[in-house]
Amino acid sequence: MSAIRKLTDWDELERLIHTNLGESEEVKVDRTKLLQHLLSRVRGQDDTATDIANLVCLQYARKSRDKPVCNLLLLGPTGTGKTEMAKAIAEYLFEDEKNMIRFDCSELSGTHSKDRLVGMPVGYVGAESGGQLTRPVMTNPKRVILFDEIEKAHPCVFDLLLQLLGEGRITEQGSGKTVDFTSCVIILTSNAQWEPLAAIKQENKNYHSMLNHMKSHLSDCSVFRPELMGRIDRIYIFDQLKKDVVAEIALMKIGKLAQSFSVQVEFVSPQLLLKALEANHKISRFGVRELERIIFDIFAPAFATAKQEKLAKVKLELKSDGSMMLRG
């Protein structure tokens, strides 16, 4: 034994290294905990959450990958939880929803959109700054990449996506560095063609038959190119939210808003909650896009008052004149 190894119990050190560090940086995902987390944040899409949890766990069980962890296409009407699902995946897998990079594809509709994502070519101003897609992944390769309303993106963005989804690698134009996306989850969202796709979902009980029909429909309608569809692992149709599900979401948002004022809500009057739901219904037809703003307008003043009066727990009720009553 060498002199260096005599400085410690080498056999014990080797055992500890093997036990605690292993042979690689293999990541294990607990399917049950992941599913519980997704269901706690996204209401009304239980089947989708279940399948995503299964897929992610299967992909993480693989020793090596030559493309992203998974490529998901989330379709459905506005305000049904598509973006929230992406945030929930990022929070669980990568510890913080801030590890999600989101692109609004209505802002990627111009001819120079590719330069924004992968950086300006050498010789152009800003080339050294890199791309808004490539540079963050260089810094932290474990990300959720969300392309919101992907159907609005310029064709050059779709060209880039073919490489990203298929090979999991993109070369940044200014630096010439190859960026590895094989530890990323790629999510595309769209509300295009969701109604006929929902009908296909109802008509096809076999998943693979349904998937083929959906991909064919999207390709035939010229929404997405066939070669892009071939790189998508799963397509999910988000259902319109039922009224009781929106009520659950409203209660979650009320509780979260209260916590931001260091207040805990013990009870919310059903009549008071209905006011928020009716206001939301007029705007978004029971989606949740505007619900958070409505809840802030209605409940934030009461929570601010509770904080000022140093009330740790509150009950919110409706007076006969329609105003809110705050009780500690």
User: Would the pTM of this model clear 0.95, i.e. be above it?
Assistant: no
Residue 173 and residue 266 in one domain = no
Pick from 75, 84, 105: which is nearest to 194 by CA? 75
Residue 18: pLDDT band with limits 50, 70, 90: low
pLDDT at 174: 82
* Domain residue limits at 276: 243-327
> Which tens digit of pLDDT belongs to each residue from 261-276?
999 999 999 998 888 8
Q: What is the dihedral of CA 261, 263, 264, 269, to 10 degrees?
A: -80
Question: What's the CA gap between 72 and 48, in Å, rounded?
Answer: 11
Q: Does 3 map to a domain?
A: no
Residue 185 and residue 253 in one domain = no
Number of folded domains that form the chain: 2
Q: Does 104 map to a domain?
A: yes
**CA distance readout (Å), 234 to 90, 187, 197, 218, 250:** 17, 10, 14, 14, 29
Strand partners, 169: 180
pLDDT at residue 108 is higher than 50: yes
Which run of H or of E encompasses 55?
A: helix 46-60
Which of 5-9, 48-52, 225-229 has the weakest average pLDDT?
A: 5-9
Q: Does 248 map to a domain?
A: yes
pLDDT at 197: 86
Final residue of a domain: which of 202, 218, 237?
237
> Which tens digit of pLDDT belongs to each residue from 133-175?
999 999 999 999 999 999 999 999 999 999 999 999 999 988 8
Residue 175 and residue 232 in one domain = yes
pLDDT at 23: 47
Residue 251 and residue 232 in one domain = no
Q: Does 9 map to a domain?
A: no
In a 3-state reduction of DSSP, which class is residue 179?
strand
Residue 159 and residue 189 in one domain = yes
Residue 1: pLDDT band with limits 50, 70, 90: low
- Mean residue pLDDT of the chain comes to 88
User: Phi and psi of 322, rounded to 5°?
Assistant: 90, -5
Give percent of the chain above pLDDT 90. Answer: 55
The number of beta carbons lying within 10 Å of the beta carbon of residue 3 is 6
Residues 6+ apart with CB under 8 A from 239: 44, 45, 76, 80, 198
Average pLDDT on 14-42 reads 77
Residue 117 and residue 247 in one domain = no
pLDDT at residue 25 is higher than 60: no
Contact 168, 65 (CB under 8 A): yes
Q: Does 277 map to a domain?
A: yes
Final residue of a domain: which of 237, 269, 286?
237
313-318 and 324-327 beta bridge pairing: antiparallel
Residue 66 and residue 82 in one domain = yes
The one-character DSSP state at 139 is: H
Final residue of a domain: which of 194, 210, 237?
237
Residue 24: pLDDT band with limits 50, 70, 90: very low
Question: What's the CA gap between 25 and 16, in Å, rounded?
Answer: 16
Residue 285: pLDDT band with limits 50, 70, 90: low
Residue 260 and residue 221 in one domain = no
pLDDT at residue 254 is higher than 60: yes
Residues 6+ apart with CB under 8 A from 134: 117, 118, 119, 170, 172, 177, 179
Residue 233 and residue 247 in one domain = no
